[in-house]
Amino acid sequence: MSDTQNPETHEFQAEVQQLLDLMIHSLYSNREIFLRELISNAADAADRLRFEALQTPELNEDDPEPRIEIRVDEKARTVSVIDNGTGMDRTEVIDHLGTIARSGTRRFLEAMTNDERQNAQLIGQFGVGFYSAFIVADKVTVHTRRAGLAPEDGVLWTSAGKGQFEIASLPREARGTEVTLHLGAEQDEFLDRFRLKSIVRRYSDHIAIPILIAEENGELETINQASALWMRPKSELSDSDYHDFYRQLTFDTEPPLATLHNKVEGAQAYTSLLFLPSQAPFDLFEPEGRSGLRLYVRRVFIMEDREHRLMPRYLRFVRGIIDSDDLPLNVSRELLQHNRLIDRIRAASIKRVLDALERLAKEESERYNSFWSAFGTVLKEGPVEDPANAERIAGLLRFYSTHETSAPSVSLADYIVRMKPDQDAIYYLTGESFAAVSNSPHLEAFRKHELEVLLLAEPVDEWLTTHLTEFDGHPLKAIAKGQLDLNQAESTEPPAESVSNLIERVKTALGDRVSDVRVSHRLTDSPACLVVDEGELGIHMQRMLKAAGHDLPSQQPILEINPEHAIIERLAQMTDASIDDWAVLLFEQSVLMEGGRLDDPASFVRRMNRLLD
Ligand SMILES: Nc1ncnc2c1ncn2[C@@H]1O[C@H](COP(=O)(O)OP(=O)(O)OP(=O)(O)O)[C@@H](O)[C@H]1O
């Protein structure tokens, strides 16, 4: 290419080089995916152009039909992927093909392991795209021209993937991008058209744009189906059609747990094709995770639903597409925010997903449990985010309980079936970790009375329980809050005088560390525990909020002591000054049992040693 001008050499951003090196090593056994990635970029560029041309029809020039072409040159040992999409201008080439703009790729680098298979899956999920070309090529050139610019504005990008790339001006008549791979030694299999076609069919069959290959005699053959799969009638589609489409959409290697394909006719027509994945993507909990549905209007790709307008955040694991016949093609993000049509599509889609989950829970509880272990934490955001559906979502929740400690598989309905005849609430305990809640002293009285308690140890549980206050007419009650009267008779008896005296002395010793000290009716084996008043934030919740930087009004817990415990009996008889140490120690023990931290651990140790001495 002798007529290039203004050549410049640029360094790759450090992470790009790192990514390239890692990718070449870890994906070698899966190297055919480079073609999927290049085709996917070409299709994205075509989609973008279609969208931009709605506003600016001139961008189509006189070539409005999108297409992707694969060309092989056996002599030069090159494979090219050519599109007539948006193309790139010089700045875009430098920005997009020299840096890693997306934070997802950075996280991919962090998540990389030494395990090749895992990395291949990872890379699939992150879709690191363009750079995968270097797995099979020892040199890559990109010749591109931005739609709407003059042929002289064409740009040539060249790199051997070794730290640098060159960029130069090179006129290009055709709009769009041509990526040419100069195959490395031993990559001749990718000169075989038959092999290329089978890769395209495997990975890119449902790309809604024709993918053509130039045969040796120059004739063009269309390789893929090139139709929007979701527009075909259900009866024509097999499970494997859906799976292939799902794989292309999500790069997920596992087939989906459920596929929901619906065509809604009538006043508002739209088609939705929704998938419930069977495994969680890596970025499920990232604020900018690539979750979300894709919105189409009459087969034209409009945008990804990053703002969760089509599907709420607590269902962000649902993948798929919505294709509306009635939205305007020039729909903008702002318009999406306030659109009754979108509201209706959203409500109907939520309903479809909840229906499907209920069906799965009822008919295939084991698969539902595996769904739960992948996405349960996300679904627990539901009652907070979507109060209108809170009761339905609550029915889908699963928990550990004192009845079932091996897996979180207890539903609220299961719990209700096991309730005692006079039991008036669904009991639960929240805390820092499963170990902390399942060994908590708060459970002692419940164990004694054989009352089941749900054990909640995820951070989201604190929010969940502030919003989910009843289920099926039964209130949910935190067992670490308020007074507990499981056995009315016991609690009405006034404490013995020695115990009342002890309580007064402990109160004095603890000062403003506690708001009260009282006799407990929830302990059998432990000497003391901490509780908060009904209506106050739980101890664990207070700690989480403080850790997140919230300024909370100080709420001191209540220390409850168990007068039947040997230590308390002994303390009640004690008269010397060491009672102060004992009081503080009881308090500190109780903080530790809650999974909390001591403000002054050194004093705790000294105090304990004094008493042991
Ligand atoms: N054929 C193309 N036409 C126009 N722009 C392209 C083309 N190929 C790549 N690009 C630009 O380069 C960017 C980087 O591509 P790359 O494949 O590395 O990541 P991506 O496509 O953004 O992400 P992913 O592949 O994970 O979806 C793209 O976002 C796009 O802006």
pLDDT per position as a tens digit, 388-403? 999 999 999 999 999 9
Q: Would you say residue 202 has pLDDT above 70? A: yes
C-beta of 88 in contact with ligand 1 (< 6 A): yes
Q: Dump pLDDT digits (tens) for 13-70.
A: 887 787 787 777 777 777 888 998 899 899 989 989 988 998 899 999 989 899 999 9
Distance CA 601, CA 595 (A): 14
Q: Which of 97, 125, 130 to mutate to test the pocket of ligand 1 (most atoms within 8 A of CB)?
A: 130
Asked whether the CA dihedral 91, 92, 97, 100 is positive or negative, the reply is positive
Kindly state if the Cβ of 66 falls inside 6 Å of ligand 1. no
- How much is the pLDDT for 12? 84
Give 454's strand partners.
Answer: 401, 428
Q: Is the CB of 100 under 6 A from ligand 1?
A: no
Residue 125 pLDDT class (50, 70, 90 cuts): low
CB 515 within 8 A of CB 536: no
CA distances from 148 to 87, 88, 142, 210, 430 (A): 10, 10, 18, 23, 60
User: Does residue 21 have a known ligand-binding role?
Assistant: no
544 is in an annotated binding site: no
Confidence at 126, pLDDT banded by 50, 70, 90: low
CA 102 to ligand 1: nearest atom: 22
- The answer on whether 83 is annotated among ligand-binding residues is yes
Please report the atom of ligand 1 found closest to the CA of residue 130.
17
More confident residue, 374 or 550: 374
Q: What is the mean pLDDT of the chain?
A: 89
Separation of 458 CA from ligand 1 center, angstroms?
A: 37
Sequential DSSP letters for 233-281: -GGG--HHHHHHHHHHHH--SSPPSEEEEEEE-SSS-EEEEEEE-SS--
Alpha carbon of 38 to ligand 1 centroid (Å): 8
pLDDT in tens, 245-293: 998 888 888 999 999 999 999 888 999 999 999 988 877 777 666 668 9
Residue ranges of the chain that CATH labels 1.20.120.790: 494-532+546-613
pLDDT of residue 120: 60
- Is pLDDT larger for residue 304 or for residue 136? 136
Residue nearest to atom 7 of ligand 1 (CA): 41
Q: Is 129 in the pocket of ligand 1 (CB under 6 A)?
A: yes
Q: 282: Cβ below 6 Å to ligand 1?
A: no
User: For 180-184, 336-340, 366-370, 427-431, which range has the lowest pLDDT when averaged over its residues?
Assistant: 336-340
231 CA to centre of ligand 1 in angstroms: 27
Residues 480 and 532: beta-carbon distance below 8 Å: yes
Any binding-site annotation on 126? yes
- Is 104 annotated as contributing to ligand binding? yes
Q: Tell whether residue 128 is among the known ligand binding residues.
A: yes
Other beta carbons less than 10 A from residue 299's beta carbon: 14
What is the length of the chain?
613
Question: What pLDDT, on a 0 to 100 scale, did the predictor assign at position 539?
Answer: 82
48 lines ligand 1 (CB under 6 A): no
CB of residue 83 inside a 6 A radius of ligand 1: yes
383 CB within 6 A, ligand 1? no
pLDDT for residue 117: 63
**Whole-angstrom distance, CA of residue 543 vs CA of residue 548:** 9
For ligand 1, mutation pick of 19, 41, 84 (most atoms within 8 Å of CB): 41
Global model pTM greater than 0.90:
no
Q: Which CATH number fits domain 229-365: 3.40.47.10, 3.40.50.720, 3.30.420.40, 3.30.230.80?
A: 3.30.230.80
Protein residue closest via CA to atom 14 of ligand 1: 96
Protein residue whose Cα sits closest to atom 28 of ligand 1: 96
What local confidence, expressed as pLDDT, does residue 106 receive? 65
**Is 177 known as a binding-site position?**
yes
463 lines ligand 1 (CB under 6 A): no
Q: Does domain 494-532+546-613 have CATH number 3.90.1170.40?
A: no
Average pLDDT over residues 202-229: 88
User: Hey, whose CA ends up nearest to atom 19 of ligand 1?
Assistant: 129
Ligand 1, from 20, 92, 96: best to mutate by most atoms within 8 Å of Cβ? 96
- Measured CA to CA, the distance from residue 177 to residue 145 in angstroms comes to 7
pLDDT of 287 reads 67
Region 532-545 average pLDDT: 82
Atom of ligand 1 nearest to the CA of 85: 3
* Ligand 1 centroid to residue 387 C-alpha, Å: 39
Is 19 near ligand 1, meaning CB less than 6 Å away?
Answer: no
Distance CA 588, CA 597 (A): 9
CB 145 within 8 A of CB 82: no
CATH number, span 398-479? 3.40.50.11260
Residue 83 CA: nearest ligand 1 atom is 1
| pLDDT for residue 535 is more than 60 | yes
With cut-offs at 50, 70 and 90, classify the pLDDT of residue 160: very high
Q: Binding site annotation covers 129? A: yes
Determine the distance separating the centroid of ligand 1 and the alpha carbon of 344, expressed in angstroms. Answer: 33
Q: Is the CB of 85 under 6 A from ligand 1?
A: yes
Atom of ligand 1 nearest to the CA of 86: 4
Output the pLDDT for position 506: 94
Residue intervals of the chain classified under CATH 3.30.565.10 are 5-222
Least confident of 160-164, 216-220, 289-293, 440-444: 289-293
Check residue 482 and give its pLDDT.
82
Task: Give the mean model confidence (pLDDT) for residues 437-455.
Answer: 94
Lowest average pLDDT, out of 6-20, 410-424, 484-498, goes to: 484-498
Mean pLDDT of 531-552: 82
**Known binder of ligand: residue 573?**
no
**pLDDT band at residue 299, thresholds of 50, 70 and 90?**
confident
Give me the pLDDT at residue 397, please: 98
The answer on whether 121 is annotated among ligand-binding residues is: no
Ligand 1 contact, 465 CB (< 6 A): no
108 annotated ligand binder: no
Ligand 1 mutation target, pool 19, 44, 283, most atoms within 8 A of CB: 44
For residue 532, the cross-strand partners are: 481
Q: What is the mean pLDDT of residues 318-336?
A: 83
Phi, psi of 142 (to 5 degrees): -125, 120
pLDDT digits (tens, 9 = 90+) for 85-124: 999 999 999 988 887 655 556 666 676 666 666 666 666 5
Q: What's the confidence (pLDDT) of residue 426? A: 97
Please work out whether the CB of residue 177 comes within 6 Å of at least one atom of ligand 1: yes
Q: Rank 177-191, 320-334, 575-589 by mean pLDDT and report only the highest.
A: 177-191
Q: 5-222 architecture in CATH? A: 2-Layer Sandwich (3.30)
Asked whether the CA dihedral 428, 430, 434, 439 is positive or negative, the reply is negative
**How much is the pLDDT for 339?**
85
**Where does the pLDDT of residue 159 fall: very low under 50, low under 70, confident under 90, or very high at 90 and above?**
very high
Percent of the chain with pLDDT over 90: 61
Q: How far is the CA of 127 from the centre of ligand 1 (A)?
A: 10
Stretch 133-154: mean pLDDT, rounded? 96
Domain with CATH 3.40.50.11260 in the chain: 398-479
Tell me, what amino acid is at 151? Answer: P
Q: For position 613, what pLDDT does the model report?
A: 84
